[in-house]
Amino acid sequence: MSGIPVWMDCDTGMDDAVAIMLAHALSEINLIAVSTVCGNAELDKTYWNTQRINRLINADYPVYRGAEKPLMKPLAPAVNVHGENGLGGVELPLPEDVIVPDVPAWDALYACARSMPGELRLVATAPMTNIATAFIRYPDLPGLLHSVTFMGGSAGSGNVTPAAEFNFYTDPEAAQIVLQSGAKLVMCGLDVTNQAYYSMEQLESMAATGSRAGTFVRDCGRYAWSVFGKLGMAGFSMHDSCPVMYLAHPELFEGKMAGVAVETRGTVTNGKSVTDLYSDKQFPFKNVLVLLKVDRDRFISILTDCVLGIR
Nearest-approach distance from CB 127 to ligand RIB, in angstroms: 7
* Single residue of 50, 159, 211, 275 touching ligand RIB by CB under 6 A: 159
Q: Which single residue brings its beta carbon nearest to ligand RIB?
A: 166
Question: Residue 165 interacts with ligand RIB (CB under 6 A)?
Answer: yes
Nearest-approach distance from CB 267 to Ca ion, in angstroms: 24
Between 39 and 88, CB nearer to ligand RIB: 39
Question: Residue 9 interacts with Ca ion (CB under 5 A)?
Answer: no
Neighbours of 97 (CB within 10 A): 4
Nearest-approach distance from CB 65 to Ca ion, in angstroms: 16
166 binds, among ligand RIB, Ca ion, none (CB under 5 to 8 A by kind): ligand RIB
User: Which of 24, 82, 146, 239 is an active site residue?
Assistant: 239
Between 46 and 133, CB nearer to Ca ion: 46
Neighbours of 106 (CB within 10 A): 24
What dihedral angle (degrees, nearest 10) is formed by the CA atoms of 197, 199, 204, 205?
A: -80
Cβ neighbours of residue 164 closer than 8 Å, sequence gap 6 or more: 158, 172, 263, 269, 270, 271, 272, 273
Separation between Cα atoms, residue 244 and residue 250, nearest integer Å: 10
Closest listed residue to residue 272, CA positions, set 124, 187, 166, 177: 166
Nearest-approach distance from CB 79 to ligand RIB, in angstroms: 12
The DSSP 8-state label assigned to residue 94 in this structure reads P
Question: Residue 16 interacts with ligand RIB (CB under 6 A)?
Answer: yes
165 binds, among ligand RIB, Ca ion, none (CB under 5 to 8 A by kind): ligand RIB
User: Using alpha carbons only, what angle is made at residue 194 by residues 190 and 198, rounded to the nearest 5 degrees?
Assistant: 150
* Single residue of 5, 8, 15, 113 touching ligand RIB by CB under 6 A: 15
Question: Residue 126 interacts with Ca ion (CB under 5 A)?
Answer: yes
CA 4 to chain CA centroid, Å, is 17
* Residues that contact ligand RIB, how many (by CB under 6 A): 16
b/e burial code for range 123-160 (CB count within 10 A of at least 16 → b): bbbbbbbbbbbbbeebeebbebbbbbbbbbbbbeebbb
User: Contact, 179 vs 185, CB < 8 A?
Assistant: yes
What dihedral angle (degrees, nearest 10) is formed by the CA atoms of 239, 29, 44, 131?
A: -80
Separation between Cα atoms, residue 121 and residue 144, nearest integer Å: 10
Catalytic site includes residue 146: no
Question: Residue 235 interacts with ligand RIB (CB under 6 A)?
Answer: no
- Provide the mask over 236-275, with x wherever binding to Ca ion is found by CB under 5 A and - wherever it is not: ----x-----------------------------------
Between 144 and 185, CB nearer to ligand RIB: 185
Longest alpha-carbon distance in the chain: 57
Segment near Ca ion (CB under 5 A); pick from 102-110, 126-134, 244-252, 284-292: 126-134
Nearest-approach distance from CB 285 to ligand RIB, in angstroms: 24
Q: Which of residues 56-115 bind ligand RIB (CB under 6 A)?
A: 78
Closest listed residue to residue 310, CA positions, set 39, 22, 51: 22
Separation between Cα atoms, residue 133 and residue 128, nearest integer Å: 8
159 binds, among ligand RIB, Ca ion, none (CB under 5 to 8 A by kind): ligand RIB
Q: What residues are labeled active site?
A: 239
Binding site residues, ligand RIB, CB under 6 A: 11, 13, 15-16, 39-40, 78, 125-126, 151, 159, 165-167, 239-240
Binding site residues, Ca ion, CB under 5 A: 11, 13, 16, 125-126, 240
